[in-house]
């Protein structure tokens, strides 16, 4: 049988409070930032593909932060098995959606990397199925899929990267590095506040990718026709 013990039960009150602060800050920022991105896209570009791309990205970003907050902050509520059965599945599944969703605006705005993005959404659906069916098993496989999807653009998306301005590529690499570096703290469960540190890395990396999307909307190349 898999170990379904809730590791959050071992956290101190200070650790739980600090983690809650990170999540509340993240939700607040996302609720402000996503509408701004959509409005800027409408004013700067205004075409259906661009608006669709940033809307998918914004929805995926919100879903990841919201599901993470729902799972991690509900540890202080008496929701029992519902929290572990449902919220954990949503939390872990939303990460796959966020990764695929992050690549989507770059593909739709540039017209390059469509095959890559289709492949990433296929991988995301596989990851979601994995987490929905058995969230407590195949932890290392799930983690490898997260990282593989995140770096797929560098390894297999040469056409997409070539179409992006250098500042956007730099921001994407920095964001990917932050996500990857944060995994160290996610796995370092004996470190005090490791969960807060991990979520801090995720939030900062998400903001860096948001900056990459916004930068491309503003300074990117011409909108792809059709």
| 174-195: pLDDT as tens digits | 999 999 999 899 889 889 999 9
Q: What is 12-219's CATH topology?
A: Rhopdopsin 7-helix transmembrane proteins (1.20.1070)
User: Are 200 and 186 in contact, with CB atoms under 8 Å apart?
Assistant: no
Return the closest-CA partner of residue 133 out of 93, 99, 95. Answer: 93
Rounded to an integer, what distance in angstroms lies between the CA atom of residue 50 and that of residue 65? 23
Rounded to an integer, what distance in angstroms lies between the CA atom of residue 157 and that of residue 110? 12
Min mean pLDDT across 12-26, 71-85, 104-118, 201-215 is at 71-85
Query: C-alpha distances in angstroms, 23 versus 26, 56, 120, 148?
Result: 5, 21, 26, 25
The DSSP code for 111 is: S
From first CA to last CA, the distance across the chain in angstroms is 52
User: Are 71 and 93 in contact, with CB atoms under 8 Å apart?
Assistant: no
Average pLDDT, the chain: 85
The confidence band for 88, taking pLDDT boundaries of 50, 70 and 90, is: confident
Report the pLDDT averaged over residues 56-71.
94
Report the pLDDT averaged over residues 160-185.
91
Residue 94, number of CB atoms within 10 A of its CB? 25
Rounded to an integer, what distance in angstroms lies between the CA atom of residue 206 and that of residue 68? 13
State if pTM tops 0.75.
yes
| 10-52: pLDDT as tens digits | 788 898 899 999 999 999 999 999 999 999 999 998 889 899 9
Helices (H), the chain: 13-44, 48-73, 80-82, 88-110, 114-133, 139-150, 152-156, 158-163, 166-187, 194-219
Contacts 24+ apart (CB under 8 A), 47-56: 47/223, 49/108, 49/109, 49/223, 49/224, 50/105, 50/108, 50/109, 50/217, 50/223, 52/108, 53/104, 53/105, 53/106, 53/107, 53/108, 53/109, 54/105, 54/213, 54/217, 56/101, 56/104, 56/105
């Amino acid at each position: 049988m898999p170990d379904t013990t809730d590791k959050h039960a071992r956290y101190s009150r200070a650790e739980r409070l600090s983690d809650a602060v990170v999540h509340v800050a993240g939700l607040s920022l996302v609720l402000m930032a996503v509408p701004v991105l959509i409005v800027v896209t409408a004013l700067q570009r205004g075409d259906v593909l661009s608006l669709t791309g940033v809307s998918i990205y914004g929805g995926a970003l919100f879903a990841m932060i919201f599901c993470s907050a729902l799972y991690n902050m509900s540890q202080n509520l008496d929701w029992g098995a519902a929290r572990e059965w449902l919220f954990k599945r949503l939390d872990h599944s939303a990460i796959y959606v966020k990764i695929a969703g992050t690549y989507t605006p770059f593909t739709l705005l540039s017209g390059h990397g469509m095959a890559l993005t289709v492949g990433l959404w296929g991988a995301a659906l596989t990851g979601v199925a994995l987490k929905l069916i058995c969230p407590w098993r195949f932890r290392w496989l799930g983690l490898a899929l997260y990282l593989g999807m995140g770096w797929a653009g560098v390894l297999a998306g040469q056409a997409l990267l070539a179409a992006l301005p250098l500042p956007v590529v730099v921001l994407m690499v920095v964001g990917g590095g932050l996500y990857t570096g944060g995994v160290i703290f996610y796995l370092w469960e004996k470190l005090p506040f490791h969960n807060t540190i991990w979520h801090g890395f995720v939030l900062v990396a998400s903001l860096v990718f948001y900056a990459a999307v916004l930068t491309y909307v503003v300074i990117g190349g011409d909108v792809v026709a059709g």
